[in-house]
Amino acid sequence: MAGLPQDAVLIVVDMQRAIDHPSWGRRNNPALEANVAALLARWRRDGRPIIHVRHLSREPNSTYRPGQSGADFKPEALPLPGETVVVKHTNSAFIGTDLEERLRRAGQNTLIITGVITNNSVEATARMAGNLGFAAVVVSDGTATVDRADYNGKHHPAEDVHAMSLANLQGEYARIMSTAEILAAG
pLDDT tens-place string over residues 115-131: 999 999 999 999 999 99
What whole-number distance in Å separates Cα of residue 107 and Cα of residue 101? 10
What whole-number distance in Å separates Cα of residue 186 and Cα of residue 94? 28
pLDDT tier at 1, thresholds 50, 70, 90 = very low
Q: Name the amino acid, one letter, at 41.
A: A
What whole-number distance in Å separates Cα of residue 82 and Cα of residue 52? 11
Q: What is the CATH number of domain 9-184?
A: 3.40.50.850
- Count of CA atoms in the C-beta half-sphere (13 A) of 20: 13
| pLDDT tens figures, 57-86 | 999 999 999 999 999 999 999 999 999 999
Q: What angle do CA 24, 116, 128 make, to 5 degrees?
A: 130
- Global pTM value: 0.96
| pLDDT tens figures, 144-185 | 999 999 999 999 999 999 999 999 999 999 999 999 999 998
Helix or strand run (H / E) with residue 3:
none
Q: Of 136, 144, 140, 112, whose CA–CA distance to 1 is shortest?
A: 112
| pLDDT tens figures, 81-125 | 999 999 999 999 999 999 999 999 999 999 999 999 999 999 999
